Chain A
Amino acid sequence: QVQLVQSGAEVRKPGASVKVSCKASGYSFSGSGISWVRQAPGQGLEWMGWISAYNGNIKYGENFQGRVTMTTDTSTSTAYMELRSLRSDDTAMYYCARCPGISGGRADYWGQGTLVTVSS
């Protein structure tokens, strides 16, 4: 069965960086893409960006351009999301989600989420 397992909760100080991992199993990792979505406490869903595990194409959300880097390691079926220059309003649950196909789209399987807390 398709599973996405994310790394554990992180605490960072303002100005620091965080890197979250998302290990996929149960499907052909290289045949799909991964979107990253975050959710601040009590708020809605915010799309951060998408990366194709097929050819490495990337699309970042406008709100995150210049501050986020998404990568994949096809040898371990793992996707990574690094967010830099953290601020207190980056405190959120961060989700990875599979987008089947090679050009993005709806997210049919989700990771369990990684809570990132930014606090001095």
Chain B
Amino acid sequence: EIVLTQSPGTLSLSPGEWATLSCRASQTIRNNFVAWYQQKPGQAPRLLIDDASNRATGTPDRFSGSGSGTDFTLTITRLEPEDFAVYYCQQYGTSPALTFGGGTRVEIK
């Protein structure tokens, strides 16, 4: 089973700042099949990025994904108030089996 480790656990930032979230896999992810999700309190997760760097429909361009192999990054430029949430990475290189990372909380400083 591929284990995904997200860091940091919590990121304290101000609106307008950049956020860099890391997702590290215990082994190489086939075809860089990594997705990123945003979850706000009381809501279901929302797909932001798939295939490591492809923005899902409706994802603002301030969100970008990058990385390959075992190291992946979600970058949020110019944080907006609505971006403060929890972010999860997921690998689907072993699909249909999936694995989620433990999440990174982006909170207002």
Contacts and interface: CB of A to CB of B under 8 A. Distances in A.
Interface of A: 33, 35, 37, 44-47, 50, 52, 57, 59, 61-62, 95, 97, 99, 103-113
A95 B102 CA distance: 17
Interface residues of B, number: 23
- Interface residue SS majority, chain B: loop
19 contacts: A44-B88, A44-B103, A45-B90, A45-B103, A47-B97, A47-B98, A47-B99, A47-B100, A50-B98, A52-B96, A57-B96, A62-B1, A97-B44, A105-B92, A105-B96, A107-B37, A107-B45, A108-B47, A109-B47
B101 to A, nearest CB: 8
Nearest to B103: A44
B3 interface: no
